[in-house]
Structure 1
Amino acid sequence: MSDANFIDKVPPRSVVIPEEYAGSRLDQVLSDQFPEFSRSRLQHWIKLGLVELDGRPCKAKQRIRGGELINLRPIPQDEVEAEAQAIEFDLVYEDEHLLVINKPAGLVMHPAAGNPDGTLLNGLLNHYRPLQQIPRAGIVHRLDKETSGLLVVAKTLQSQHALVGQLQARSVKREYLAIVQGEMIAGGTVDAPIGRHPVNRLRMTVHETGKHAVTHYRIEQRFRAHTLLRVRLETGRTHQIRVHMRHIRHPLLGDPLYGGRLKLPSAINDELAAAIKGFRRQALHATRLELIHPETGEQVAWEAPVPADMQQMIDLLAEDAGL
């Protein structure tokens, strides 16, 4: 089916309500029976008379007996008003249900103050127009502007609901590679709540009133004054890895918000010194993504190698350490 046909026509749906729904509200039943549509959209269609119960108009709060026939005549409805734009991004995987993208550093996820367009969301709409009809154009989790790597995008409401449920259940496995300042001795876990900084509202911080946050990390490679870590998120708080690494006094290399004062290793050559000074983004890359496919139920995974800027930094640090 082409994008245009999807937008211009949504086929009618019919279903006989199972007996176990007796006593439930109609809008709740519709939400369960037609998970590809949001409840607010279904309620709107009820008001427009596009839902019939045994051939008669109905109301959202109407109670169900069980065994009735629901006829639904969906109509297209945009959830996203942003402009479709040709934005370059690396498409790792695509099927009828989801997209997996390797986001480059520097690309903002969605329009906001200071970034009205030119975002990944604008590019997604250009790539697949029906995403206009999915909240947030199918984006279910985010990467910071200057963080590169893998993220999944839902192409249907049903997939979006399933993926959000997996994120909430913590069954989505996300691994990152990070270059941190300082030579670490061993891996470990940071279990510390994260909330908005009380003074600098652009920052997050470890705070007792924050939300539960857990980050696991292990050492991939040690350098003289830096460490390459493989990091696994158990929760998904804003800036979580960046905040937790700063909390244990090993902030990410190049992090402009949490990195603190730049520290150079002693007796380094000019090339490495220039590279460290010139690395202007947090050295963080989402390298592996694993989840349950929302349609097939199979465990699927993707990997993305570190981008050129991080690989060059790793190579220079390794050379400096004599590795």
Structure 2
Amino acid sequence: MGNLDLIIHVDEKDSGCTIGNLLRRKKGFSRALVRKLKRSGGIRCNGTPVFMGEKVTAGDVLVVTMPGEEPTLLEPEEIPLDIVFEDQDILAVNKPAGMLVHPVKWEQSGTLANAVLYYWREAGITGRFRPVYRLDRDTSGIVLVALSQYAAQQLAAQLEKKLLRRRYLAVVVGTPPNAGRIDLPLGLKPGHSAEWMVTPGGRPAITHYRLLGKLGNGRTGSSVPAFSLLCLELETGRTHQIRVHMSHIGHPLLGDARYGGDEKLFHRQALHAAAIDFYHPRTGVPVKLRTPVPADMRELVRLLRSRESEFRNQ
């Protein structure tokens, strides 16, 4: 996958560290990756192969060559990709609604993984498909894919430390307050394998939301129901988190029939992963990625606004 060598310049504060400690404590390498590097002999200091227990001094230059990996065993498929960002460490794709990120037992084709593997094969790349997080099938927007074990670890650590920020746009039923924080634990609904609920024994889950605009009148006796456009940010990333949280507070996503949303006007959950901010795993430079609202959601917002305008003019 291109040049995956990582170059580390040793400064005064790291002088005297062993190479193993430097990689683990300063650069965030997992123990498993350090063990792989130890077996592969993939570390040079000032051009000379070295061992993990050797110490470094200020001015040394370490070159870490990432060990090779087995590719993902999945059939590549020629499926168009909307690439938002790409370099030797990261691939960011704008996933359309209706596409799974990764195959499941009963569906092994037509997924984002199949499409990415085909794209890589055509570019002469062999590697593992590593989405940093997943989106539901019917949620559109940015999916971040790491091109190496190291990049995946760094981005996962940013998720854990809340340095990787994800923001979504959604159309919900009703009009919530202008802003809010939902801190409610989530767990599987009893007797279900893919439906979630708020439950005291669940895993912690926190969602922040901000009202961007009202899309319907919602007056008592009005034939025009109230809808709202929200910006939501995940502090945690549980399965179906936004969908369950918004449904629980009485504002399900439009089109989300599973969690109480009306699907007459829209036939999927009206949710789009529109923005992601993170620090590049190799350079530490801030990266900000954005995607436009897809055509079906734009048309939905236009329709709801036009219905509101028609009601006012009656």
TM range (shorter): 0.7 to 0.9
Which of 274, 285, 295 aligns to 1:287? It is: 274
In structure 2, the partner of 1:234 is 235
How many residues align structurally? 291
In structure 1, the partner of 2:127 is 133
The secondary structure found in structure 2 opposite 1:162 is helix
In structure 1, the partner of 2:301 is 314
Q: Is residue 2:86 matched to residue 1:94?
A: yes
- Tell me the TM-score normalized by structure 1: 0.75
Q: Deviations over 1:50-91 (max 9, x none)?
A: 689xx9xx9xxxx94757xx9999763314211222222210
Q: Deviations over 1:194-229 (max 9, x none)?
A: 111122221111111111111111111112221111
Q: Check 1:131–1:289 CA distance in 2 against 1; reply closer, same or farther (3 A cut).
A: farther
Letter in 2 for 1:248: I
Let me know the Cα RMSD of the aligned residues: 3.8
The secondary structure found in structure 2 opposite 1:322 is helix
Counterparts of 1:16-95 in structure 2, within 5 Å, are 19-21=16-18, 32=24, 40=32, 43=35, 64=53, 66=55, 76-95=68-87
What is the percentage of aligned positions where both structures have the same residue? 36
Question: Gaps (5+ residues) in structure 1?
Answer: 263-275
Deviation at 1:247, TM superposition (A): 0.8
How far apart are the structure 2 equivalents of 1:153 and 1:65? 34
How far apart are the structure 2 equivalents of 1:297 and 1:50? 26
Letter in 2 for 1:102: N
Deviation at 1:143, TM superposition (A): 0.7
In structure 1, the partner of 2:159 is 167
Q: Check 1:217–1:71 CA distance in 2 against 1; reply closer, same or farther (3 A cut).
A: closer
Greater shift, 276-285 or 312-321, is seen at: 276-285
Counterparts of 1:186-205 in structure 2, within 5 Å, are 186-205=178-197
Deviation at 1:255, TM superposition (A): 0.8
Q: Deviations over 1:122-176 (max 9, x none)?
A: 1111222487534xx1311111110001122112222222111111111111111
CA contact (8 A) 1:83 1:117 kept: yes
Q: Check 1:74–1:290 CA distance in 2 against 1; reply closer, same or farther (3 A cut).
A: closer
CA contact (8 A) 2:24 2:34 kept: no
Deviation at 1:121, TM superposition (A): 1.1
- Tell me the TM-score normalized by structure 2: 0.77
In structure 1, the partner of 2:105 is 113
CA contact (8 A) 2:167 2:234 kept: yes
